[in-house]
Amino acid sequence: MSDDRLARVRASFEESARVKRETVEASGARIAEAAEIVIETFRAGGKLLAFGNGGSAADAQHLAAELAGRFEKERPGLPALALTTNSSDVTAIGNDYGFGQVFVRLVEAHGRQGDVAVAISTSGRSENVNAAVSAAKQRGMRTIGLVGKGGGKLAGLVDVAIVVPSDSTPRIQESHIAVIHVFCELVDAELFAEISEA
């Protein structure tokens, strides 16, 4: 095995761990606040809509799957939707209205007052994501942003912004997944305290 390759593996893991530590130091209180919004939404009978582009679309799907399926406890499924998963929706809206309106139209279709929108963007500059946040706020939804690279425009649009202090897209995405798992852990702990882990 190449010593250079092993050194690179170790450096990548160490950098990922460092960024996660810096994220919780900078945004730990905001992560807890955002989780509280998600918990309150479910407790009141609302739903969660998550969206993003590319790797952030995959993260939105990951969040929705953990909530609608299960995280660590055998508990009822929770109403969580990733707005990125229906290819007919995405392509029809993109074709008819332009890609910048894809998430706006889906927020209009599925979002209601009392729901929560989780917008995910490594840069905070994705126009379709930012437009959907504005649409969600117009509908009376609470909004959470998972961002990096200083937060971009998105950080100023959402109710709670969790900004990963990094300019590296892979490190930002790794931290976003860690935040998503914390959300799910807190949801399980607070909404289903009486259920033991599976």
SS3 call for 13: helix
Distance CA 97, CA 54 (A): 20
195 or 33: which leads in pLDDT: 33
What's the mean per-residue pLDDT of the chain?
96
User: DSSP states of 18-33 as a string?
Assistant: HHHHHHHHHHHHHHHH
CA 145 and chain centroid, separation: 7
Give the model's pLDDT for residue 3: 83
**Has residue 193 got a pLDDT over 80?**
yes
C-alpha–C-alpha distance, residues 118 and 146, integer Å: 7
pTM value?
A: 0.96
Architecture of domain 3-191: 3-Layer(aba) Sandwich (3.40)
SS3 per-residue string spanning 55-86: HHHHHHHHHHHHHHCCCCECCCCCCEEECCCC
Q: Quick one: how many helices (H) and strands (E) in the chain?
A: 7, 5
pLDDT digits (tens, 9 = 90+) for 139-171: 999 999 999 999 999 999 999 999 999 999 999
Asked if 51 and 59 count as a contact pair (C-beta separation under 8 A), the reply is no
Confidence (pLDDT) at 197: 72
At residue 130 the predicted structure's pLDDT band, cuts being 50, 70 and 90, is: very high
**AA identity, residue 29:** A
Over residues 35-62, the mean pLDDT reads: 98
Task: Please report where in the chains the tokens 């894809």 appear, as a residue.
Answer: 102
pLDDT in tens, 57-93: 999 999 999 999 999 999 999 999 999 999 999 999 9
Q: What is the mean pLDDT of residues 121-126?
A: 98
Instruction: Evaluate if residue 42 carries a pLDDT over 80.
Output: yes
